Amino acid sequence: MDISQIDKNFDICCELPEDLEWHGIREEAFTLYGLLDYGDDGYRRLPEEVTKAISDELFHCSRNTAGGRLRFKTDSPYLALRVKFASASLMSHMAFINAGGFDLYENTAFGSTFRGSYRPPCNGAPSYAYSLWAGMGMKDLTLNFPSYGAPVFIELGFKKGSKIEKTDGYRDCAPIFFYGSSITQGGCASRPGLTYENFISRRFNIDYVNLGFSGQGKGEESVVRYMASRDMSVFVSDYDHNAPSYEHLEETHFRMYEIIREAHPDIPYFMLSKPDFDNDPNGAPRRRDIIYNSYLKARERGDRNVYFIDGKRIFEGADRAECTIDGCHPNDIGMYRFADTLIGEFTRILK
């Protein structure tokens, strides 16, 4: 029997209010963060000329909207969403709300508060509509996009006659850039707002760009040079998991640092090793040493704004074994510990 017939709290069917007025998210009142807009073909996190020159797999991952956010203000008491996807991302180890859903936060002077999730149908249907109660009065809102879906059409529905205005936005500085693997992309948080980058973004009210690519974050020079061409306030290198060999990691890791540092000589630069140290007790220390040696070489060159984060300590402490879904990808506990580790470092640096 379908559990939703027993417990209505599991029913994802949503009746939309009748007095809705629909708006495309490319209208002037909305501000899109973290994504490149490719019009009717959806969104990208890297330009096509960069991804297609490397692999079809990287092109596919670049269409996933990890880190995408839409910010705006409205006094509508409810907010509906209509979305169509180029492809579904049903996975056995990740909540579909993260892979193909959206969640909503309200931003205030005291921080951001979760307001609800737009829940996709569990059959992986390519389109759906869902409505949330947003509250009374004028609200500053952030809509977080799926970590793995590839939406090509998004509309928001507001109560007829409601005001829609541009948000005040993030603090006045360039975004943080995160480059890495599936963990960086958001696997396997339970919803988009619980990825470690979103924790950091909300804590500091700072924009970010998520360039995590499942299995495809390999430090290719053309990708690195594209990132170096972008404006950024901090760079986080976290692709240990995706480097296919020790030799590949050694050949690309310090070279990435050199390219980014040449374009951005003064920004904080973070080098992370993978957190699931216990899964690879023989190989993980060798990989960590390669990354740590990159850090030492940078310091020997006089760089005092480069930082090493030993991934082994990210999950340390009580319940270390409870931090992942599958021994590798962080669950919400793991994502929070990941974020907390970096927030401690950022608090000191971003004063």
Confidence label for 256 from pLDDT (cuts 50, 70 and 90): very high
Token pair 């960086």 in the structure block, residue: 184
How far is 230 from 228, CA to CA, in rounded Å?
5
pLDDT above 90: residue 141: yes
Q: Where are the domains of the chain?
A: 3-165, 176-349
Return the closest-CA partner of residue 32 out of 174, 114, 142: 142
Rounded mean pLDDT of 281-305?
A: 95
Buried b (16+ CB within 10 A) or exposed e, 201-217: bbbbebbbbbbbbbebb
Quick check: 71 pLDDT over 60? yes
Give the separation between CA 252 and CA 44, rounded to whole angstroms: 24
Cα angle value 36/179/209 (rounded, 5°): 35
Given a cut of 80, is residue 346 above it in pLDDT?
yes
Give yes or no for a contact between 192 and 101, defined as CB atoms under 8 angstroms apart: yes
Q: What percent of the chain has pLDDT over 90?
A: 75
CB atoms under 10 Å from CB of 38, counted, come to 13
Estimate the crossing angle of helix 283-300 against helix 246-263, to 10 degrees: 30
CATH label, 3-165, candidates 3.40.630.40, 1.10.10.10, 3.30.1180.20, 2.60.120.260: 2.60.120.260
pLDDT digits (tens, 9 = 90+) for 198-253: 999 999 999 999 999 999 999 999 999 999 999 999 999 999 999 999 999 999 99
Count other Cβ atoms within 10 Å, centred on residue 187. Answer: 26
Q: What is the pLDDT of residue 62?
A: 96
Element at 71 (helix H, strand E): strand 69-74
Closest alpha carbon to 111 in 198, 230, 228 = 198
Asked if residue 233 lies in contact with residue 199, where contact means CB atoms within 8 angstroms, the answer is no
CATH class of residue range 176-349: alpha beta
CA 246, CA 268: separation in Å to the nearest integer?
A: 25
pLDDT of residue 288: 96
Place of tokens 């404006």: 231
Burial grade of 290 (CB within 10 A; 0-12, 13-18, 19 or more): buried
What pLDDT, in 10s, does the model give residues 171-197?
999 999 999 999 999 999 999 999 999
CA distance 145 to 86: 14
- Give the rounded percent of residues in the chain with a pLDDT score beyond 70: 95
Computed over every residue of the chain, the mean pLDDT equals 92
